[in-house]
Structure 1
Amino acid sequence: MHRSLLLPAALALSLVSAVPAFARSPAEELGFSTKALERIKAAMAREIDKGTMPGAVTLIARDGEIVHFEAYGFLDAAKTKPMPKDAVFRAFSMTKPFVAVAAMMLVERGQLSLRDPVATYIPEMKAMTVLAEKTDASGKITREAVPATRTMTVHDLLRHTTGLTYSVSAPFPELKDAYLKADLESRDGDLSPEEFVKRLAATPLAYEPGTRFEYGLSVDVLGIVVERVSGKRLDVFLEDELFKPLGMKDTHFQLTPDQTARLADALDTDPQKVDGWKWVRVDQDPGKRYRLGGAGTVTTAQDYFRFAQMMLNGGELDGVRILSPRTVDFMLSDHTLGLGGSTAGTTGPGYGFGLGFGIRRQEGMAVVPGSPGDAMWAGAGGTSFTIDPKEDLVGVFMAAAPTPRVHTRMLFKNLMYGAMTE
């Protein structure tokens, strides 16, 4: 017979009430294993020891509550400064979702439509040409610029179906040469918005607009559309309409004096550091050249979490509404079904593209866990994020490590989803 049955009832009850109930951690209450979350620390330590990166910051939130937020390793290439949680990172292409949101804010206000030709706002781009293949009598294939037969629209800018590309990923060698010669990415000089679109208009497209996903300068052009429609410089518009309202105090197009000591640097041994770091110059006056809507901001893990959580919440955070829920649903839908091209270089297989975000199409086909409809993107400097509406989940990974960026973003997703228990 159990001992409590031999005790007076009142005494037995008092003993039972004195036994503390098993307390679950906040992470466990939200469906995460505390022990499994500790694996992230071990994995980051291994990568730092291997020389993958100097350090990293990782953040995971569910139901709007942060369940994991840690910093590892070092801030600087020399590995002398511990990585702080509020480290500042070059966002590179994680700037693109900001500009996509800015454009959709103007759509909601009736100032812009996805159906609008880009030339409505940038007349310089009215008569674009496209590279066309020709085969001569000997069977040799050549390409020449011919007038484009399709009109580039604002929709094309948002989903990267303009036919614009990047020099590093240009599908044809003559196009790569043309991009570098014209310095379209403003790597060697400071192109004004006017000079940028002038040179871009004189450069052939890789493909007819509206036919193929081709990652490139589309969002940089979209940033100029936002400027011309709103009457504000892109950096000012985003500061006034997005960053300040969401409390993103460390997200800007120019590094502020108080951020300098917190700026994360890549290892000097990283082969892609020199070119990429030169391209996004954080000390650049944003009024001097076009605002690099596709790459030009700096941010922190916590700031980017606030932006991602706003999208997960259907366009609202802490009582501040940025977009309507229907607009967010529209943005986080696949807009590239049936078109050529692939997002796999950034997302891995199994993803299409919405308006500013890569969108997972189905359960299978991908190389990391996730959910149909999860949204993600990443930066060439080593940063990435995931928004999973089905799981009410946000994950942010920040590192200054351009060369191994695909490895680290997939590693983090495996660790994040692997720590979930429900």
Structure 2
Amino acid sequence: MKIAFWFSLFIVFYTFFGYGIVLFVLVKLRRLFKGKRTINRDIHNLPSCTLIIAAYNEADILDKKIKNTLALRYPAGKLHILFVTDGSTDTSPEVVKKYSVIQLMHSPERKGKIHAMHRAMHEVKTNIVIFTDANTFLNEDALVNIARHYSDANVGAVAGEKRVLIEDTADATAGEGFYWKYESALKKWDSELYSVVGAAGELFSVRTSLYQPVPPDTVLDDFMISLHIAEKGYRIIYEPEAYAMETSSANVTEELKRKIRIAAGGIQSVLRLKSLLNPFRNSVLCFQYISHRVLRWTITPFLMIAAFVLSGCIAFITHEKFYMLLFTTQAFFYVLAVLGWIVEKRKLSVKILFIPYYFCVMNYAVIAGIRRYMMGAQSAAWEKAKRK
């Protein structure tokens, strides 16, 4: 029982904290022996680029998104902008049509974001393609900061940074902002060590020649598309100076809906990307992939429960003070999470409770997502989470 407990506790700690520590040390060692990776600062010899924005019923925000897009810096004549509004039943196509410098693709039939992306790719004639969401806003130099990395022939994809805008009166979704800050730090180190393990759809880019369509039932298309490129031996770079800004989820219920979908897509990705689990093919990428993604999306949430139950059993059977302390500490953490749930329901703001509550919600979402995927109940069509 003690062996099972320590194994469970070790995996939980390693997944959320240990990997970050190990990664930090490995990056420091790499800098010591090989020096810090250089970044191309030349923005005068950038590749041709197509910016693709898939928008489904986003008429209320499209004008603002288009103005943000047209304000982005990129060499004249090298940028093509393409909006895909497939399936939209509002005035999204009409909004885009007002701007003659933008190409519109629209089909009344809704087949999902993946189909829209694949359809748009047939129109791409540039060296690279950048994808971003309709409800996110990019910094002025986002495109040039992404494109400059393609001067390195080993780079196959570039992931931008997601930034969550948190209001001063934020509720428990403030945990989302904290989570993304921690994730950003891990991605910076992942990228410097070797490669980021997957890109987020808010802002990512690929070499057009390396783009590989994914099956229409794929839940996490951005993640799968980028990792198919990593499978081929190319690096995925993380570029924090190219960022997409969006508001946090409207409430924890909306964030949970989004997390469950991501978790369902996560277990689907793990089952379909079996080659990345082979350490003899690319040992560093395999180490990063398992440590940063696979453990989170598979066994770790279950081991959290196991560690709590086992420590309780050991404490009450043996009466050892050390195990009593371990059990009590875990129980206290979960009590804080429950209190976070209570104050969130009452629309109060007690920030100290945000992180344990969000952490537990995130791990519950993994269990719920695995169950949903195994039951075949997860659709590839994106159901938008409401945002503030």
Q: TM-score normalised by the shorter chain: which range applies?
A: under 0.3
TM-score by length of 2: 0.28
TM-score by length of 1: 0.26
**Structure number, greater radius of gyration:** 1
